[in-house]
Amino acid sequence: MPVDRDLLRDARAAADAWAEAQDRTELAKADYHHAVRRLHLAGASLREIADALDISHQRVHQMIDEAGGTEGWKPRLKVGDCSFCASTADEVDRLIAGPGVFVCDGCVRRFRAQPPLTSSTAECSFCDRPAAEDGWLAEQAGVRICDRCLEFCDEVLATQG
* Binding site feature residues for Zn(2+): 82, 85, 104, 107
pLDDT in tens, 90-100: 889 888 887 77
Q: How far apart are CA 140 and CA 132, in angstroms?
A: 19
**How far apart are alpha carbons 98 and 153 in whole angstroms?**
10
Alpha-carbon distance 112 to 130, whole Å? Answer: 18
Extract the annotated binding site: 82, 85, 104, 107
Summarised one tens digit per residue, pLDDT across range 63-98 is: 988 877 776 554 444 566 888 898 888 889 888 887
What's the pLDDT band for 51 if we cut at 50, 70, 90? very high
Are 153 and 125 spatial neighbours (Cβ–Cβ below 8 Å)?
no
Q: What is the pLDDT of residues 107-127, one digit of tens each?
A: 998 888 876 666 556 788 887
Residue 126, pLDDT score: 80
Report the alpha-carbon distance of residue 104 to residue 29 in Å, rounded. Answer: 42
